[in-house]
């Protein structure tokens, strides 16, 4: 299979403009003759559904939550990047592009990243106009902060609730289209399969989660905006319902899965407290702007942190990376935390934690200023841990947070199945091997508001007048498969709960495919996961019926898919014999313990093709070229 | 600690519900309330009993999915907290806990503690937005917004749409929810062109749903996990009154470009 990324010709600054001139248009009066399916209502899905509705397309939008407003984009705290250069501190589209390519450790497509940086400025305008209450200066202009290792202040924010406010903006735009009848919304509805007719995506099969009805919907195109697959690890900062089923089902129908091993482990999360733990809570990375990260110099030092004198503390990020200090990118901060814990210098009851200390900042700025900046985060920390971070240093530890990998898409955001588009975290396109802070919101909204409205028209225009119906054998077959799988899950009648399998899978992945990966560990996981899968299908216990609200059944289907996806994740990690971004192979590091890329062999996107159950997936390579940002070893010293 | 739970169980909207008592032994104080229910559910499944259904998603207090009455209080008695952020250290050994779904005619029960809050979405769909198509926005700094206005708008915009205000209100009124959106958009210059019609439309939709009327009990503010101020309801009343007293003149319209 030849992967054609369809990157437009010309200098990088002109590619998107040229594309927009060359594309085929759907005339305004004809848009209503098309119907588009949008799965997911987060930033990418809500923005796409709203904008396509505004343009006049008929849209059907689906989400598993009880309301479109609840998608997990809502939990993003820190902010959204844009190359506005409102601060006059040297930012530009080119610099945001450069930082993103470098931050992604040279494993992203230059043309996509440049387009993202260009569009970033329009996103801010759109969100402000919608009434997103961004932080302001006293003169009424927009405030910015520096975030996640950027050396310019380009991050726009709304207290610690930026994701919430951006999502509510998109949700309200979507609500307006629902009110106009332009979008039909289907909450509590889960996509369980993709329907491909004559090689093109023509619809989906869903389950109404309240009645259990299995139903087909036909569309002229299908947009998957279903987020990442980090919940494969069980413990993650994702919402409990986030899952990989939509993209995995599409993968099994022929969509290639790109770079699954590029997972992001976020350095500042609240450590695990006990084996009942159901999820991990992120503390915004913005805390690293003022907090200082340290561990005791001596292994096994169990003193109260406030009793440990300065001279016996190791501010290891400031020591190892003097230029960036506590603001080094996420992958580097996470690995450094793991390294000090591996040395036995971790803190807290489990020894898996490091301190994030605000004493110096409170001394310098006063408690009031810290409260204004991080009040809600401190409050959340105290609620969860019962400790007061104003007086006792926070304890943090890395946790799975984001997946850079996802379904392979071309410049149009179209997967290898024509008519199947993938937006936001669900695709692989813009972040390479590591995503910079405040860039996920940017990408979700860029894809939804400003990319898909153009590229979708280009796909649909020549397809005017094609029939659209669910009355086809392909739909009947997909429905039958979905029903059969549900019946099979309910019929196992084993003894173990779904969660117990999910936990077991999660710890297998965390141990062998987490922050540090080795060939031996990955080979072990690749053997253990199919065994676990087999046991799942023999021993799982799913109670209740198919025709009612049944959380166990919903979870069982998702975990069954994670059990397949996890194996691909490990296979990809094993094949990529280099360290880059969030993918750290312990065999490949510099003498100082930094990631060592192998550009000669691995400057490509690894796109995997499903070859059927029990068969190894096939690898396809999309070579990457860097004409503007020359690959170098990332240095934050 | 060891707890006794009295949980509302209801198979579906058509079947009457009842309280069922469960023991919750060995609860750790570091668990969240929902993690405590997870553990109870794991044991129920192992015994072959249908687990307790409750809505939840982000478990970090921001998505607004979770919510239940705990001993008669929405999200429990801890102020400014959703139930997913309520930790068991606020309970003590031997406690009996009564757990019910949101109480409101406007939120019919779907199963156990899961209710249908679609009415809140329909209120937003009726006018809780600023009409601006993608691509037609001016530069972000073209419209200055006073810091004070932006901050108050943000206070109101912090609403997570969980429905606790309605569930706690003796009248089952949705005024605080509507007021929060009216205020979020109405304090910003961008929200001015549609300000009055928004108030009228949202109130009209609210009245079509099965919510009660506001009589200023103030329970909504006390129950709100985001501590949204009841003062916003005064602003809602102001905007609604203004909208109905001074209607904007209607243009004759018609005619198009030749």
3-class SS of residue A575: helix
> Which residues of chain B have a CB within 8 Å of the CB of A80?
none
Question: In angstroms, how far is the first alpha carbon of chain B from the final one?
Answer: 79
Do B78 and B166 sit in the same domain of this protein? Answer: no
Do A354 and A457 sit in the same domain of this protein? Answer: no
Strands of the sheet with A604-609, listed across from one edge: A406-407, A257-258, A604-609, A618-623
Q: Do B126 and A72 touch (CB under 8 A)?
A: no
Q: How many CB atoms sit inside 10 A of residue A632's CB?
A: 11
Is the separation of the CB atoms in A133 and B183 below 8 Å?
A: no
Do B177 and B193 sit in the same domain of this protein? Answer: yes
Do A146 and A99 sit in the same domain of this protein? Answer: yes
Is the separation of the CB atoms in A89 and B144 below 8 Å?
A: no
* pLDDT at A634 (0 to 100): 74
Residue B75 lies in a domain: yes
Residue A146 pLDDT level (bands cut at 50, 70, 90): confident
3-class SS of residue A414: strand
Span A567-589, average pLDDT: 97
CATH code where residue A113 lies: 3.50.50.60
3-state helix, strand and coil shares in percent for chain B, rounded to the nearest 5? 35, 10, 50
Do B104 and B139 sit in the same domain of this protein? Answer: no
Q: Where is the domain boundary, B79, B111, B143?
A: B111
Q: Do A138 and B147 touch (CB under 8 A)?
A: yes
Do B124 and B241 sit in the same domain of this protein? Answer: yes
Compute φ and ψ for A197, nearest 5 degrees. Answer: -120, 125
Residue A318 lies in a domain: yes
Do B103 and B132 sit in the same domain of this protein? Answer: no
pLDDT(A175) > 80: yes
Do A287 and A237 sit in the same domain of this protein? Answer: no
Q: What percent of chain A has pLDDT over 70?
A: 100
Do B145 and B235 sit in the same domain of this protein? Answer: yes
How far apart, in whole angstroms, are the C-alpha atoms of residue A308 and residue A287?
A: 22
> Which residues of chain A have a CB within 8 Å of the CB of B45?
497, 541, 543, 552
How far apart, in whole angstroms, are the C-alpha atoms of residue A570 and residue A228?
A: 16
Span B163-189, average pLDDT: 98
The string over A458-475, giving b where at least 16 C-beta atoms fall within 10 Å of a residue's C-beta and e elsewhere, is bbbeeeeeeeeebebeeb
pLDDT(B258) > 70: no
Residue B182 lies in a domain: yes
How far apart, in whole angstroms, are the C-alpha atoms of residue A197 and residue B58?
A: 36
Q: Cβ contacts of residue A519 below 8 Å, gap of 6+?
A: A574, A585, A587
Q: How many CB atoms sit inside 10 A of residue B186's CB?
A: 25
Do A359 and A447 sit in the same domain of this protein? Answer: no
Residue A478 lies in a domain: no
pLDDT(B11) > 90: yes
> Beta strand B96-100 with B3-9: parallel, antiparallel or unpaired?
parallel
Q: Do A175 and B111 touch (CB under 8 A)?
A: no
Q: Where is the domain boundary, A463, A479, A503?
A: A463
Tell me how many residue pairs between chain A and chain B have CB atoms under 8 A apart: 223
Can you name the residues that pair with A293 across neighbouring β-strands? A356
The string over A181-194, giving b where at least 16 C-beta atoms fall within 10 Å of a residue's C-beta and e elsewhere, is ebbbbbbbbbbbbb
Do B106 and B142 sit in the same domain of this protein? Answer: no
Residue A635 pLDDT level (bands cut at 50, 70, 90): confident
pLDDT(A607) > 80: yes
Q: Where is the domain boundary, B64, B92, B111?
A: B111
Strands of the sheet with B96-100, listed across from one edge: B18-24, B3-9, B96-100, B69-70, B73-74
CATH code where residue B178 lies: 1.10.1060.10
> Which residues of chain B have a CB within 8 Å of the CB of A243?
none
pLDDT(B257) > 70: no
Residue A545 lies in a domain: yes
Residue A471 lies in a domain: no
How far apart, in whole angstroms, are the C-alpha atoms of residue B103 and residue A580?
A: 52
Domain count, chain B: 2
Q: Where is the domain boundary, B88, B111, B134?
A: B111
CATH code where residue A309 lies: 3.90.700.10
The minimum CA-CA distance between B38 and chain A, rounded to whole Å, is: 8
Residue A441 lies in a domain: yes
- For A623, the enclosing helix (H) or strand (E) is strand A618-623
DSSP assignment of A329-378 equals: -HHHHHHHHHHHHHTT---STTS--EEEE-HHHHHHH-HHHHHHHHHHHH
Residue of A nearest to B116 (CA): A66
Question: In angstroms, how far is the first alpha carbon of chain A from the final one?
Answer: 42
Placement of tokens 């932080």 in the chain = A135
Do A83 and A125 sit in the same domain of this protein? Answer: yes
How far apart, in whole angstroms, are the C-alpha atoms of residue A618 and residue A607?
A: 8
> What is the domain range of residue B186?
118-245
Is the separation of the CB atoms in A32 and A418 below 8 Å?
A: no
Residue B220 lies in a domain: yes
Q: How many CB atoms sit inside 10 A of residue A575's CB?
A: 13
Residue B70 lies in a domain: yes
> Which residues of chain B have a CB within 8 Å of the CB of A234?
none
- For B38, the enclosing helix (H) or strand (E) is helix B33-47
Domain count, chain A: 3
> What is the domain range of residue A510?
492-601
Residue B24 lies in a domain: yes
CB nearest to A54's CB, from B48, B87, B133: B133
The strand ranges marked E within A426-484 are none
Do A275 and A377 sit in the same domain of this protein? Answer: yes
> Which residues of chain A have a CB within 8 Å of the CB of B130?
129-131, 172
pTM value? Answer: 0.97
Do A362 and A412 sit in the same domain of this protein? Answer: no
Span A28-45, average pLDDT: 97
Q: CA of B245: how far to CAs of B189, B193, B237, B240, in Å?
A: 22, 17, 12, 9
How is residue B129 annotated by DSSP? S
Range in A53-67, A146-160, A449-463, B155-169 with the lowest mean pLDDT? A146-160
Placement of tokens 């313990």 in the chain = A593
A73 touches chain B (CB under 8 A): no
Q: Which of residues 214-243 of B touch A (CB under 8 A)?
A: none
Do B207 and B127 sit in the same domain of this protein? Answer: yes
pLDDT(B160) > 90: yes
Q: Cβ contacts of residue A84 below 8 Å, gap of 6+?
A: A91, A120, A121, A124, A142, A144, A154, A156, B140
CB nearest to A136's CB, from B50, B111, B150: B150
Tokens linked to B235? 């602003």
Q: Which of residues 485-544 of A touch B (CB under 8 A)?
A: 495, 497, 499-500, 541, 543-544
Span A311-332, average pLDDT: 92
Do A228 and A182 sit in the same domain of this protein? Answer: yes
ipTM above 0.85, yes or no: yes
Do A89 and A157 sit in the same domain of this protein? Answer: yes
Q: Cβ contacts of residue A243 below 8 Å, gap of 6+?
A: A64, A226, A229, A231, A558, A561, A562
CATH code where residue B7 lies: 3.10.20.30
Residue A473 lies in a domain: no
Compute φ and ψ for A359, nearest 5 degrees. Answer: -60, -45
Residue B229 lies in a domain: yes
Residue B20 lies in a domain: yes
Span A288-308, average pLDDT: 95
pLDDT(A372) > 90: no
Do A297 and A352 sit in the same domain of this protein? Answer: yes
Do B126 and B98 sit in the same domain of this protein? Answer: no
How far apart, in whole angstroms, are the C-alpha atoms of residue A52 and residue A453?
A: 6
Is the separation of the CB atoms in A363 and A291 below 8 Å?
A: no
Do B191 and B219 sit in the same domain of this protein? Answer: yes
Do A536 and A577 sit in the same domain of this protein? Answer: yes
Do A453 and A549 sit in the same domain of this protein? Answer: no
Q: Which of residues 257-276 of A touch B (CB under 8 A)?
A: 273-274, 276
Residue B256 lies in a domain: no
Q: What is the pLDDT of residues A415-464, one digit of tens each?
A: 999 999 999 999 999 999 999 989 999 999 999 999 999 999 999 999 99
Q: Mean pLDDT over all residues of chain A?
A: 96
Do B133 and B236 sit in the same domain of this protein? Answer: yes
Do B107 and B123 sit in the same domain of this protein? Answer: no
pLDDT(B246) > 90: no
* pLDDT at B249 (0 to 100): 81
> Beta strand A394-403 with A313-314: parallel, antiparallel or unpaired?
unpaired
Q: Cβ contacts of residue A113 below 8 Å, gap of 6+?
A: A97, A100, A101, A104, A430
Residue A220 lies in a domain: yes
Span A171-181, average pLDDT: 98
């Amino acid at each position: 299979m030849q992967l054609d990324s369809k990157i437009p010709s010309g200098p990088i600054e002109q590619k998107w403009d040229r594309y927009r001139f060359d594309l085929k248009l759907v005339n305004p009066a004809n848009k209503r003759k098309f119907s588009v399916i949008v799965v997911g209502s987060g930033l990418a899905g809500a923005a796409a559904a709203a904008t396509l509705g505004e343009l006049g397309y008929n849209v059907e939008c689906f989400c598993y939550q009880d309301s479109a407003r609840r998608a997990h984009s809502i939990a993003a705290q820190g902010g959204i990047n844009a190359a506005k250069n409102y601060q006059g501190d040297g930012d530009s589209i080119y610099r945001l592009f450069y930082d993103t390519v470098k931050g992604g450790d040279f494993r992203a497509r230059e043309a996509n990243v440049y387009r993202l940086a260009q569009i970033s400025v329009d996103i801010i305008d759109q969100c402000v106009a919608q009434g997103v209450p961004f932080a302001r200066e006293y003169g009424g202009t927009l405030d910015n902060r520096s975030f996640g290792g950027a050396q310019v202040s380009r991050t726009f924010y709304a207290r610690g609730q930026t994701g919430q406010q951006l999502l509510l903006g998109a949700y309200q735009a979507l609500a307006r289209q629902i009110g106009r009848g332009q979008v039909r919304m289907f909450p509590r509805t889960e996509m369980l399969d993709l329907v491909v007719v004559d090689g093109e995506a023509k619809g989906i099969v869903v389950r109404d989660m309240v009645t259990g009805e299995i139903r087909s919907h036909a569309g002229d195109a299908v947009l998957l905006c279903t987020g990442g697959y980090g919940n494969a690890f069980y413990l993650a900062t994702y919402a409990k319902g986030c899952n990989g089923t939509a993209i995995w089902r599409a993968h099994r129908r022929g969509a290639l899965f790109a770079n699954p091993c590029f997972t992001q482990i976020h350095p500042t999360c609240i450590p695990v407290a006990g084996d009942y733990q159901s999820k991990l809570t992120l503390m915004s990375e913005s805390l690293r702007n003022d907090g200082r990260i340290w561990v005791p110099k001596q292994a096994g030092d169990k003193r109260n942190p406030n009793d440990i004198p300065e001279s016996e503390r190791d501010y290891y990020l400031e020591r190892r990376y003097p230029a960036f200090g506590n603001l080094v990118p996420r992958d580097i901060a996470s690995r450094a935390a793991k390294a000090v814990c591996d040395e036995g210098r971790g803190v807290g009851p489990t020894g898996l934690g490091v301190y994030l200390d605000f004493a110096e900042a409170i001394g310098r700025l006063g408690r009031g200023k810290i409260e204004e900046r991080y009040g809600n985060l401190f409050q959340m920390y105290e609620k969860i841990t019962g400790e007061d971070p104003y007086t006792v240093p926070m304890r943090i530890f890395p946790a799975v947070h984001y997946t850079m990998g996802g379904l392979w898409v071309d410049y149009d955001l179209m997967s290898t199945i024509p008519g199947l588009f993938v937006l936001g975290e669900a695709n692989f396109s813009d972040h390479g091997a590591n995503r910079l802070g405040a860039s996920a919101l940017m990408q979700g909204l860029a894809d939804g508001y400003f990319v898909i409205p153009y590229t979708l028209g280009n796909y649909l225009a020549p397809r005017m007048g094609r029939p659209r119906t669910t009355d086809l054998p392909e739909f009947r077959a997909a429905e039958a498969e979905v029903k059969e799988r549900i019946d099979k899950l309910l019929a196992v009648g084993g003894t173990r709960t779904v969660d117990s399998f999910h936990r077991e899978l999660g710890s297998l992945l965390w141990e062998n495919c987490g922050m540090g990966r080795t060939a031996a560990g990955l080979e072990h996981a690749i053997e253990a996961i199919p065994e676990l899968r087999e046991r799942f299908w023999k021993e799982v216990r799913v109670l209740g019926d198919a025709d009612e609200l049944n959380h166990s059944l919903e979870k069982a289907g998702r975990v069954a898919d994670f059990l397949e996806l996890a194996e691909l994740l490990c296979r990809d990690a094993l094949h990529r014999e280099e360290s880059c971004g969030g993918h750290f192979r312990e065999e490949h590091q510099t003498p100082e313990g930094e990631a060592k890329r192998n550009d000669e062999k691995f400057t490509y996107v690894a796109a995997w093709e499903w070859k059927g159950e029990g068969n190894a997936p096939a690898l396809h390579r999309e070579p990457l070229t860097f004409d503007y940002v020359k690959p170098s070893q990332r240095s934050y010293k | 600690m060891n707890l006794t739970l009295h949980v509302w169980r209801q198979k579906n909207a058509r079947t009457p519900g009842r309280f069922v008592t469960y023991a919750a032994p060995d609860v750790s104080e570091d668990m969240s309330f929902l993690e405590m229910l997870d553990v109870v559910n794991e044991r129920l499944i192992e015994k072959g009993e249908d687990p307790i259904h409750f809505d939840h998603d982000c478990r970090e207090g921001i998505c607004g999915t979770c919510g239940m009455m705990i001993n008669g209080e929405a999200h429990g008695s801890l102020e400014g907290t959703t139930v997913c952020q309520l930790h068991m250290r606020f309970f003590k050994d031997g406690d009996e806990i009564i757990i019910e779904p949101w109480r409101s005619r406007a939120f019919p029960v779907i199963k156990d503690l899961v209710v249908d809050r679609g009415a809140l979405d329909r209120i937003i769909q009726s006018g809780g937005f600023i009409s601006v198509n993608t691509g037609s926005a001016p530069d972000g700094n073209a419209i200055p917004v006073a810091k004070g206005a932006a901050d108050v708008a943000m206070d109101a915009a912090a609403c997570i749409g969980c429905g606790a205000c309605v569930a706690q209100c003796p009248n089952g009124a949705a005024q605080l929810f509507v007021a929060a959106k009216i205020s979020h958009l109405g304090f910003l210059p961008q929200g001015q062109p549609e300000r009055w019609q928004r108030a009228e439309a949202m109130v009209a939709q609210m009245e079509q749903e099965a919510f009660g009327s506001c009589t200023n009990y103030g329970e909504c503010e006390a129950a709100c996990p985001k501590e949204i101020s009841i003062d916003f309801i005064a602003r809602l009343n102001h905007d609604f009154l203004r909208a109905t007293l001074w209607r904007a003149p209607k243009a004759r319209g018609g005619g198009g470009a030749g």
